[in-house]
Amino acid sequence: MHVPDAFLDAPTSLATGGVAIAGVALALRRTPSDLDDRVAPLAGLVATFVFAAQMLNFPVAGGTSGHLFGGALAAVLVGPWTATLCITVVLLVQALVFADGGLTALGTNVTLMALVGVWVGWVVFVLARRLLPARPASIPVAAAIGAFASVPCAAVVFAGLFMVGGTAPVDGGALLTAMVSWHLLIGIGEAVITGLVVSAVVGVRPDLVRGAEHLTRGGADVEAVVVR
């Protein structure tokens, strides 16, 4: 879902840029309290993995393709605040070095993937985790559910932005239907990849997984949805 330049008009791009700046600034303030000697190296590995995975596209249908968002995956592994920064760095490098996503649309892409993708994925993950049995095997399942939900939600937000400031004469209802339909399929791939990666890490080092803290520390799951 890399939005290129000129898909949205200037006011809409500026507005999403403002949202992105505010979200990243808040993440910069909150991330230091989340990072420690265990999480910092993992954050770098997560950003590297998401960067590499986003360069690989998988076919969906009708000649279209999708790629990993990585927001929910990053949030489960290193927490949503750090994940916001990881995905933002990935998008910035992609835009500057590979021209993947326009520079004027960078704020839009950060809003869609580093904010909507990360936080929808995290909130749904936490809710799913609370409904599932409190055991390590539930973490990859909850992560997959969060990952699946994050993709069509980001598509809906993009469709809404295009209805407000799109530069092409496309019917809003048709665009929304197309975006949600294709991204539900892409969400399946997102869920599979996220579940497999989280399962692998939980199986080896559950203590490194931010989303499994309540299990590895032996405490109750009282973590606030939006704070951590």
Tell me the per-residue pLDDT of 78-104, one tens digit each, with 9 for 90 and over.
999 999 999 999 999 988 888 777 789
List own/partner pairs for 200-208 with CB under 8 A and 24 or more apart. 201/77, 202/136, 202/139, 202/140, 203/136, 206/136, 206/139, 207/38, 208/38, 208/39, 208/42, 208/77
Q: How does residue 217 score in pLDDT terms, banded at 50, 70 and 90?
A: low
Q: How does residue 221 score in pLDDT terms, banded at 50, 70 and 90?
A: very low
pLDDT tens profile 170-204 = 888 888 888 888 889 889 989 999 999 999 999 99
pLDDT at 216: 63
When pLDDT is averaged across residues 63-70 and rounded to a whole number, the result is 68
Q: Is the pLDDT of residue 220 over 50?
A: no
pLDDT at 168: 84
Q: How does residue 115 score in pLDDT terms, banded at 50, 70 and 90?
A: very high
When pLDDT is averaged across residues 148-175 and rounded to a whole number, the result is 91
Q: Which residue has the higher pLDDT, 65 or 118?
A: 118
Give the predicted TM-score (pTM) of the model.
0.88
The alpha carbon of 51 is separated from its chain's Cα centroid by a whole number of angstroms, namely 12
Residue 140's Cβ-count burial label (10 Å; 0-12, 13-18, 19+) is buried
Distance, in Å, from the CA atom of 135 to the CA atom of 182, rounded to the nearest integer, reads 33
Query: Which alpha helices (H) appear in the chain, and where do they start and end?
Result: 10-34, 39-54, 71-78, 80-97, 106-109, 118-131, 138-165, 172-204, 213-216
Q: How does residue 119 score in pLDDT terms, banded at 50, 70 and 90?
A: very high
Q: Is the pLDDT of residue 64 over 70?
A: no
For 40, the token pair is 């910092």
DSSP tag of 103: S
> Shortest CA distance to 210 belongs to which of 23, 73, 90?
73
Asked if 39 and 47 touch (Cβ cutoff 8 Å), the reply is no
Instruction: Give the rounded percent of residues in the chain with a pLDDT score beyond 70.
Output: 87
Q: Is the pLDDT of residue 222 over 80?
A: no
What backbone torsions phi and psi does residue 59 show, to the nearest 5 degrees? -70, 145
pLDDT at 219: 42
